[in-house]
Structure 1
């Protein structure tokens, strides 16, 4: 009996030890190749607009030094890895569904982030907002849209160590020290007066906040002229979503913390507005755009419904991604399936993670409605140049 009990105890101990070791075993995060036919909706997709959008990115790749970095922090690629596919794309003169599909299936291999199972993530939307403003400060137009400050210093860490490509520090010089740049609250209290030009004065701090989130917008002036502004830089402070602040305070739920819900609450509680908004220490600076379209981080005009903002730590700018998610309509959060080949052409302060995307929906009320409500789960597959697949790292852990 004692031997039997000892055997049982020993067996339990081994099982517990094995389970503990299994728990401590690191997950094997990797990029897993997939067949095109395995992508949900791929066979039925019309890829013509996707290829047209990709061609815009190609024009950037073909202007760059072939030896320059064109991957992400986790996926090492050079410009020359993209250039053969781009040359082939721009050589297609008769563009139709058949030629578009043949192009992507010839030049690319789909891969997905895999961590013992396929990695899923969150997909949101953004748009090009319309604001009202004046080139001179008035009682009505008193909220400044700032250009880049003269004392803002940006340090690209990759210039010092290639391990930190696509990472940077933003601050200002104090003597011979680089110190943090003023926070949103400090900027609103006058910390950069005389250091940053005011591009235009708008009539709403809420509108300015949403302009910062979207990255570009249109400001209509009193005489009817329109001023197009786009992202130029930021103060380097951590970004905290105002929606999260309201959820954590119990004021809203994750379901109600849409752009429309946030705006309604702040407008109804003006005495709380500054205190809530200032908890997001991040602050965005802008520049006047010559184009009348939104520009992305790749420096090209974004295509509504086809340009995706991504996290550059994980996703190379210019890369095609097959997206499988849903998006809202006017009445339902998950009403419409969205399975489409997107192109990574932008970034965003709130876009962080290996599977995280922000769909650019364009301008107008429909774009505003969809973008403001979109917070949907989904997956994507990254399309990488076929010849680069054997050279990818075996593990991303």
Structure 2
């Protein structure tokens, strides 16, 4: 991948900037700003928490920076699944969510090797048993979710670790096999196909070598979003997942998503994902449950994202500006 290049922009260059709810964005920014340790940020966070007028705060202390690396912008969406399960195996509940084994040293076994070998059986690692293998798969892809247990209670689970193999898209695999066109593939389509073709469906899930382990999240209120990469709850419509090697986690990021349902909005980079690589790559968090999942599954759009950086940090990236 090419080395990133940096271009300084003005706020007037941002499509729809004046129409956004900057206070809503500032409120989300404040949930993780205090966790940024990079030079210059603590003072900004202190100012942000002192009742600043939101739009003026961003325009006064930040510079929009377009970061590019020769890859076209790609926006996708993610969500927090809400699935059915039980603490005990039985009836329809046959597909486990596992805790992280204490002897795992990535790269470990592939998804297929784990499930065929039974290497995790009998070790007491099961958090819950789920009634649909595709739900387990998508929960691993999303990295967190809620399980409604058969006793009426709810347990939230979050990412605890993985087997160290690269993620690969089963939707893309269905397209490669000629079963569907790219525009036809969605989570519901994949789920339906696997149910209609259980043997081939199992083989399809095994084409993704990555396997994710979970931990129970007991301290996240029900009205809050799942825990993101910064250890704080993410917010529907305001959180994006980014490549943290390029975009500093906690940064405000202006997005201009094209497509059937354009989005021009100030987001906060509070999460990461195994498939989120590159300067112009972002995953938008849509919320919890089936409706959020359907909305997230439709997103595969171009556009651009612009990181808001503290002014001095931005100028340091483009030194010829101050010569």
Under a length normalisation based on structure 2, what TM-score does the superposition of the two structures give? 0.92
Partner of 1:218: 146
In the TM superposition, what is the alpha-carbon distance from 1:221 to its structure 2 partner?
0.8
Structure 2 residue ranges without an equivalent (≥5): none
Partner of 2:41: 82
Tell me the C-alpha RMSD between the 2 structures. Answer: 2.0
Contact 2:161 2:213 in 1 (8 A): yes
Question: What pairs with 1:161-172 in structure 2 (closer than 5 Å)?
Answer: 171=106
SS at 1:60's partner residue? coil
> Equivalents in 1 of 2:95, 2:3: separation in Å?
49
SS at 2:184's partner residue? coil
Residues 308-317 or 195-204, more deviating = 195-204
Residues 1:392 and 2:320 aligned together: no
Partner of 1:130: 82
Partner of 1:181: 108
- Tell me the alpha carbon deviations over residues 238-280 of structure 1, each in whole angstroms, 9 at most, x when there is no partner: 1101111111111111111222222222122112111110110
Contact 1:151 1:195 in 2 (8 A): no
> Equivalents in 1 of 2:188, 2:93: separation in Å?
22
Residue in structure 1 matching 2:207, options 266, 275, 279: 279
Partner of 2:177: 249
> Equivalents in 1 of 2:145, 2:292: separation in Å?
13
Contact 1:149 1:196 in 2 (8 A): no
Number of matched pairs: 315
> Equivalents in 1 of 2:162, 2:66: separation in Å?
31
> Equivalents in 1 of 2:40, 2:196: separation in Å?
52
Residues 1:314 and 2:234 aligned together: no
SS at 2:39's partner residue? helix
Contact 2:69 2:279 in 1 (8 A): no
In the TM superposition, what is the alpha-carbon distance from 1:115 to its structure 2 partner?
5.8
Moved over 6 A (4+): none
Structure 1 residue ranges without an equivalent (≥5): 1-25, 67-78, 154-170, 172-179, 327-333
Residue in structure 2 matching 1:239, options 167, 186, 203: 167
Structure 1 residues 278 and 394: CA distance shift in structure 2, 3 A: farther
Residues 1:33 and 2:8 aligned together: yes
> Equivalents in 2 of 1:249, 1:54: separation in Å?
43
